[in-house]
Structure 1
Amino acid sequence: MAEELTARAAVTSADVARLAGVSRATVSFVLNDTQAHRVSDSTRARVLAAADQLGYVPHAAARSLRAGRSNLVLMPASVSAVGRLVSAWLDDLHSELERHGYTTVLHAGRFPDAVGAARAWAELRPAAVVALDGDGLTAEAAGVLRRAGVRATVAFAARPAEGVYTIAFDHARIGAIAAEHLISRGRTTIGVVMPKERGLDTFARPRLAGAEGVAARSRASVRAVEMAYTRESAAELAARWRESGLDGVFAYNDEYAALLMRALQGEGISVPEDVAVVGCDDLVVAALERPALTTVRLDLPAPARIADIVHELVGTGKAPEMPGVEPILIHRQSS
C-alpha cells in the first residue's frame, strides 16, 4: 500500500532521450522547435513518440532560463469579467500571441496599489504584461516590472505613464458621449448603470465620471444605479423606475442595456417615450432589439497588431505608436 501511495518521479528530458536513443540536446532541439539546429525527420519522430509515450511535459521555467526570457504574457484577471465584445477580442489576441510563441496567463490577484500588483506579476517573470484596465499603472510600477526583466508593459489607458506602451482608451469619454446624446434628446435626469459584478467597476467608474462631467455643464443630472446581470436584478430596478424619475439611462454596455430595456417594458415603461436607453459595444444584438438599441461603438485595434507590438517590444524594446480606441455614438430607435 505504501508503494502505491508513493508519488512517481517526474518524467525528465533524460528519460525521453534514453527511450528515443538520442542526446538530451536533441530532445531539447525537437521539443523547443529550435530552427537553428537541423534534426532529421526520423529522429524528430522518435523523440516526439517517446515524449508522448512517457507523458513528458517540458519545464517552462527551465526552458525560459535556456532561452534567456520567458514566453509568458500576463494579463490582469479583471479582463475576464468584461462583456462579449472584449471577450471575443481577447480570444483572438490569445491566438495571435500563440502565433509568436507566447502563452497567455491571467493573474487573479487583488492589490491595494499598482506597485503591489507589479511585484506580484513580476514573480512570474513574464516576458510582457498587457493590462486592458491600465489606468492604474504608474511609472513606479513599470519600473518594478522592468527591473524584474519584463520586456514589455502594454496598457490600454486614458493617460500615458513612463515606461508603459500606452494605447489610448478613455472610458470617461464613453460615458460622456452617452450623456451628451441623451441630453441632446431632451433627457434631464439620467441614470448610469453600475454593474454589481466583481471587476467591472474598473471600467464603470470612469464611464460614470464622464457622464457626470457632461451633466455638470448642463441642466441635467446624473445618478448611479446598481444592477447585476440577472433578470431578477433588472426586474427589481425596473419596478422602482417610476419613483426614481429617471428619463434616460446609459446602461454600461449592450448586454445590460438589453436586459434592462426588457425589464422596463415588462413594467409598462415605454422606450424611448418614457426612458431613452443607450448601451455600449455595438453588438449584433443591439440592432436586433425592439426598439433597436442606441449604442457607443468601440473600434478596438486588431488583435494581430497588438500581438505584433508585444513581440516587437519584447525583442527590441521599441514599437511604433498606434491609434487609440475612439468611441462613436450609433443612434437608433431606443433614444
Structure 2
Amino acid sequence: MAGRHGRVTAADVAREAGVSPTTVSYVLNNVPHQKIPDETRQRIHAAVARLGYKPSAAARALRRGRSDIVLLVIPDVPIGAAVAQIVENLTEELEPRGLTLISRSERHTPLSVLWQELMPAAVVALIELNPDDRTAMRAAGIHVFGALLRPSSDEDTTLSVPQHLIGRLQVEHLAATGHRHIGYAGPGDPRVQAFYDLRLDGARTACVDLGLDLPIVHEVPLDVAAAAAAVRRWRDADPRVTGVCAYNDETAFALLAGAREVGLAVPADLAVIGVDNIPLAPFTHPPLTTIDQNVAMFTGHLAEMIVSGIAGKHPPRAPRSESIALVIRQSA
C-alpha cells in the first residue's frame, strides 16, 4: 500500500519486502561493506518494481550533497528544430549519468531566481551570463558552463558555436559553384538578431575576401507571398542575384516556395543554401543544400564538460571547427 499521500515511499518498500527501512536504504544506495544476503536484495528490488517506487530527488540531493539537476538556460528565441534537438540530445546524454536536464528561458524568470530555487549541480547557458550571476552561482558550488556565439577565453567551461563561420561557408559554396551576385535572406524575427548578425557578418566578410559585391539582404518571413516578393526583388536586381544564403532551413523552405510562386527553377535560376540540416531538409524539392552544425557532436562534448566538471576532472578537448560542415544536395 502506498503512503498516506499516494506517493510510494521507502517505508512502503520496506513493508512490502518484509525488511527494515534502513536495509532498503543500504540496498538502493549501494552502501558498501553491508552484509545483506542476495535473496534480501532481490526481494527489495522486486518490491520496488511492484510498487513503482522512485527515489526522492530531494533525498538524493541531501545524500550526495548536491542535486542531480542540470539547468539549461536558453535564449528567448523560437523553439525550432535546432534548439529542440539540443534539448533532446543533451537530455539523452545526461540521463544515463544520473543527471536530469531542466530547460528554462529567462523571459519569465530571471536566472538569479531560477538557480536559487532549483540549486542545480550545474548551469549551462546558451546566453551571455551576467558576471554577478556567474560569480554567485560558483560561490554556491554550482558548476557553470556556456555555449556562446563567440569564442571565449574561458575554454574549460565555455564552448563556442562559430556563427560567423556559418555565413562564410554559405558564400564560399555559392561562389565555388559560379555565383557572383549573392543575396541573404533574413528571418524577420528580432529574437534571433544575435545569430542573424553574426551569420550575415560572416557572409559579408566572405564576399569581401572573394572579391564579390556585398550580399543584397531581404527579409523572408515564413509566408509564401512575402517570400515570392523577396525572390522577385533579387531576380530584378541589376546585376541579378543568382544565389541566396538563407538564415536557416525554415527560411530556405520559404524561399523554395517563393521561387516556385515566381516561376524560377532551383538551382538553375536561383540557388538556395540553408543552415541547420534539420530532418526535413532532404525532403524538399529540390533537396536542400545546407550547413550542418553537428548538434550531436556539440551536445556530446557539452555533456562531457558538464560531467567532468561535476566530478572535478579535467575538461575534454574542444571539438574542432570541422564540426560545422557543408551538406551538398541539389538546391545549390
Settle same-fold status: TM greater than 0.5: yes
Sequence identity of aligned pairs in percent? 34
TM, length-normalised to structure 1: 0.76
Task: Find out whether 1:69 has 2:71 as its counterpart.
Answer: no
1:4 corresponds to = none
1:204 corresponds to = 196
Q: Which amino acid is 1:264 matched to?
A: A
Q: Do the aligned residues in 2 keep the contact of 1:157 with 1:169 (CA within 8 Å)?
A: yes
Q: Which amino acid is 1:172 matched to?
A: H
Task: Find out whether 1:225 has 2:219 as its counterpart.
Answer: yes
1:109 corresponds to = 106
Counterparts in 2 of 1:15 and 1:177: CA distance versus 1, 3 Å: same
Q: How does 1:45-64 map to 2 (within 5 A)?
A: 45-51=42-48, 56-64=53-61
Task: Find out whether 1:13 has 2:10 as its counterpart.
Answer: yes
Q: Which amino acid is 1:298 matched to?
A: Q
Q: Do the aligned residues in 2 keep the contact of 1:122 with 1:148 (CA within 8 Å)?
A: no
- In the aligned structure 2, how far is the partner of 1:212 from the partner of 1:111? 35
1:258 corresponds to = 253
Segments of structure 2 that go 5 or more residues without pairing to the other structure are none
CA RMSD of aligned residues (A): 3.6
Q: CA deviation at 1:19?
A: 3.9
Counterparts in 2 of 1:199 and 1:19: CA distance versus 1, 3 Å: farther
Q: CA deviation at 1:315?
A: 0.8
- Higher mean alpha-carbon deviation, 119-128 vs 32-41, is at 32-41
1:127 corresponds to = 121
Counterparts in 2 of 1:284 and 1:95: CA distance versus 1, 3 Å: closer
1:107-143 Cα offsets, whole Å, 9 max, x none, are 233179xxx4255234311112233x34x13544322
1:308 corresponds to = 304
1:28 to 25, 28, 47: 25
Q: CA deviation at 1:43?
A: 2.5
Counterparts in 2 of 1:180 and 1:35: CA distance versus 1, 3 Å: farther
Counterparts in 2 of 1:111 and 1:9: CA distance versus 1, 3 Å: closer
- In the aligned structure 1, how far is the partner of 2:90 from the partner of 2:281? 24
- In the aligned structure 2, how far is the partner of 1:263 from the partner of 1:142? 45
Q: CA deviation at 1:278?
A: 0.8
Task: Find out whether 1:190 has 2:183 as its counterpart.
Answer: yes
Number of residue equivalences = 318
Counterparts in 2 of 1:82 and 1:147: CA distance versus 1, 3 Å: farther
TM, length-normalised to structure 2: 0.77
Task: Find out whether 1:174 has 2:166 as its counterpart.
Answer: yes
Q: CA deviation at 1:92?
A: 3.8
- In the aligned structure 1, how far is the partner of 2:280 from the partner of 2:187? 21
Counterparts in 2 of 1:65 and 1:137: CA distance versus 1, 3 Å: same
Q: Which amino acid is 2:164 matched to?
A: A
2:288 to 275, 286, 293: 293
Q: Which amino acid is 1:81 matched to?
A: I
Q: Do the aligned residues in 2 keep the contact of 1:294 with 1:334 (CA within 8 Å)?
A: yes
Q: CA deviation at 1:277?
A: 0.8
2:140 corresponds to = 148
DSSP 3-state at the match of 2:267: coil
Segments of structure 1 that go 5 or more residues without pairing to the other structure are 1-6
- Higher mean alpha-carbon deviation, 309-318 vs 35-44, is at 35-44
- In the aligned structure 2, how far is the partner of 1:36 from the partner of 1:260? 66
- In the aligned structure 1, how far is the partner of 2:139 from the partner of 2:180? 51
Q: Do the aligned residues in 2 keep the contact of 1:168 with 1:325 (CA within 8 Å)?
A: no
DSSP 3-state at the match of 1:313: helix
2:79 corresponds to = 81
1:165 corresponds to = 157
Task: Find out whether 1:322 has 2:312 as its counterpart.
Answer: no
Q: Which amino acid is 1:101 matched to?
A: G
